[in-house]
Amino acid sequence: MVFLNISLFMVGAFLVLTLLVGIYFSRKETIFREYAIGNKKFSTATLVATLLATNYGGGALVRTVECVHNIDL
């Protein structure tokens, strides 16, 4: 009956799919620059969106930590 558990099947399928994708893409040789900065192939819109998301997310985190501290959790 363990094999009929849909949650277990979904997790197993995800892990197998991740393994297969990893094996497929590991054959391509890459250099560190491609991992770090993507060979500088970023558009201005991508960089602006990244900076805005970082600033907004960081600000929300700081506000949340302050609220948690203020209510003594």
One-letter identity of residue 17: L
Q: What is the pTM of this model?
A: 0.41
Question: 47 and 31, same structural domain?
Answer: no
Full residue range of the structural domain in which residue 17 is found: 1-37
Buried b (16+ CB within 10 A) or exposed e, 16-47: eeeeeeeeeeeeeeeeeeeeeeeeeeeeeeee
Mean pLDDT over all residues of the chain?
A: 80
Q: Total structural domains in the chain?
A: 2
Is 15 in the same domain as 30?
A: yes
Q: pLDDT per residue over 9-43, tens digit each?
A: 899 999 999 999 988 888 777 777 776 676 677 78
Question: Does residue 4 sit in the same domain as residue 31?
Answer: yes
33 and 52 inside one domain: no
pLDDT over 70 at 3, yes or no: no
- Cβ partners under 8 Å of residue 3, min gap 6: 9
